[in-house]
Amino acid sequence: MSKGIIRHDFEPKIMGFVCKWCTYSGADLAGTSRMDYSPHVRMVRLPCSGRIDPQFVIKAFEQGADGVIISGCHPGDCHYNEGNYYARRRNLAFRNLMEFNGIDTKRLEFSWISAAEAIKFTQIIDKFTNQVRELGPNEGYRVLLDPYASRLVKSSEESAA
Partner 1 sequence: MAKIGVFVCQCGNNISRTVDTADVAKDASEQSGVVFVEDYKFMCSAPGQEAFKKAIRDHDLDGCIVSACSPKMHEATFRNAAEAAGLNPFKVEIANIREQCSWVHNDKEIGTAKSKDLTHMMIQRVKYNRPLERYRMSMTKRALILGGGIAGIQAALDLANAGTPVTIVEKEPSLGGNMARLSETFPTLDCSQCILTPKMVEVQNHPLITIRAFAELEKLDGYIGNFKATIRQKAKSVIDKDCTGCGDCWEKCPFTVESEFDMNLIKRKVIYIPFPQAVPTVPVIDRANCPKFIKDKCGICADVCGPDCIDFTQEDEILEEEFGAVIVATGFELMPNVYKEYGGSSMPQHLIPKKMNKKQRAAQPRSTSGRLPDVINGLEFERLASASGPTGGEIRRPSDGKKPKTVVFIACVGSRDANKGVEYCSKICCMYTAKHTMLYNHSVHDGKAYVFYMDIRAGGKGYEEFINRAQDEGAEYIRGRVSALRKKGDKILVKGADTLQGCAVDIEADMVVLATAMVPQADAIDFAKTLGISYDKHGFYSEQHPKLMPVDSSTGGIYLAGACQGVKDVPETVAQASAAASKVMQLFSKEELMREPEVAIVDKDHCMNCWDCVTVCPYLAISPEEVKDRDGNVVKMVANVNPGLCQGCGLCNTVCRSKSIELQGYTDQQVYAQITAFEGAFV
Could you tell me if 133 and 10 are in contact, meaning their C-beta atoms sit under 8 angstroms apart?
Answer: yes
In sequence order, which ranges of the chain are alpha helices (DSSP H)?
A: 23-32, 54-62, 83-100, 118-135, 141-145, 147-160
Q: Does 80 bind partner 1 (CB under 8 A)?
A: yes
Q: Does 65 bind partner 1 (CB under 8 A)?
A: yes
11-50 as b/e: b if 16+ CB within 10 A: ebbbbbbbbbbbbbbbbebbeeeebebbebbebeebebbb
Q: Does 75 bind partner 1 (CB under 8 A)?
A: no
Q: Does 28 bind partner 1 (CB under 8 A)?
A: yes
CB of 128 to partner 1, least distance (A): 14
Which of 9, 22, 23, 46 is the binder for partner 1 (CB under 8 A)? 46
Which of 34, 100, 157, 158 is the binder for partner 1 (CB under 8 A)? 34
Q: Does 5 bind partner 1 (CB under 8 A)?
A: yes
Q: What residues contact 74, with CB distance under 8 A and at least 6 apart? A: 22, 84, 112, 114
140: alpha, beta or left? (left if phi > 0; alpha if psi -120 to 50): left
CB-nearer residue toward partner 1: 13 or 120: 13
CB-nearer residue toward partner 1: 43 or 135: 43
Q: Does 159 bind partner 1 (CB under 8 A)?
A: no
Binding residues for partner 1, rule: CB under 8 A, are: 1-3, 5, 11-15, 25, 27-28, 30-32, 34-37, 39-40, 42-48, 50-53, 56, 59-60, 63-66, 79-83, 86, 90, 122
